[in-house]
Copies of this chain bind each other. A is one copy, B any other.
Amino acid sequence: MKVSELSRRTGVQVPLIKYYLREGLLPPGRATASNQADYGEDHVHRLRFIRTLIGTRGLSTSATKEILDAITAEQEDLHQVFGIVLGVRPTKMEEDASTEHSPNEPEPESAGLADARMLIAEMEWDVSQGNPAAHTLAEVLAALADLGADIDWRGLLPYARLADSIADLDVQQMRGERDVLAQAERAVLISILLEPALLALRRLAQEAKSARHFGGSRPDKANST
């Protein structure tokens, strides 16, 4: 297909496609004339993946290129691919950069991080040391303690079990695509794009249950379709 058709199929404007070609995010098409090239389904898949990745993770072009290169290198190992696109596992360039700056410095463990690791162990989650989510969890635990709430890591266990069930759903959703890029794209959609949806669903459910448990009339009840 011509570049105009590629643009139509993917929703990416032609100038941007040419930019990606120049930057090496997209391989060249098959030259058919001095200023024309023929593009195939692979180009469609790759462009859609780039659009999803940049749209959901807000990455720079160079970061996106690193990820694409890393995926090509790890193609056989879907778990590695998911780690890369979700930002769990650093790309080789990121690893090299961080080893240069802080060789062999063990991270001092905060109380929050120690508690986060207790929760992770209790859930029997086999996760990598560098997963940023453990640090996010640690920050929340520290904030809860700082605000004097009586919720510690044990209090989060029922939530962790439900999060575990959500992850089961996620994994089911991630199956079934034919090629690595399509699966990586789906992983990004399920993982990242659904985050605000999950929080919104919880807030809606909270309002519904609060009405039931904590009473009160509501003057503007109007959720019928």
A-side interface residues toward B, CB under 8 Å? 11, 48, 51-52, 55, 77-80, 82-83, 86, 88, 114, 117-118, 120-121, 123-131, 133-134, 136-137, 139-141, 143-144, 146-149, 151, 155-156, 158-160, 162-171, 173, 186, 189-191, 193-216, 218, 220-225
Contacts and interface: CB of A to CB of B under 8 A. Distances in A.
B148 A48 contact: yes
A223 B144 contact: no
B191 A120 contact: no
A139 B100 CA distance: 42
Given A169-B162, A216-B80, A203 B86 contact: yes
A84 to B, nearest CB: 11
Contacts of A123: 204-205, 208
A52 B121 contact: no
Contacts of A215: 77-79
Contact of A137 (B144, B173, B200): B200
Among A140, A193, A204: residue with most chain B CB under 10 A: A204
Given A186-B149, A193-B144, A204 B127 contact: yes
A220 B90 CA distance: 12
A206 B171 contact: yes
Given A147-B55, A151-B189, A193-B143, A209 B117 contact: no
Nearest to A213: B171
A215 B171 CA distance: 13
Among A139, A200, A220, A221: residue with most chain B CB under 10 A: A200
22 contacts: A11-B146, A48-B148, A82-B210, A121-B225, A126-B221, A126-B223, A127-B204, A127-B211, A128-B207, A128-B222, A128-B223, A133-B199, A133-B201, A137-B200, A139-B196, A156-B194, A159-B169, A163-B198, A166-B205, A170-B206, A171-B213, A198-B198
Contacts of A205: 123, 125, 160, 163-164, 166-167
A200 B147 contact: no
Given A144-B193, A167-B209, A205-B166, A223 B137 contact: no
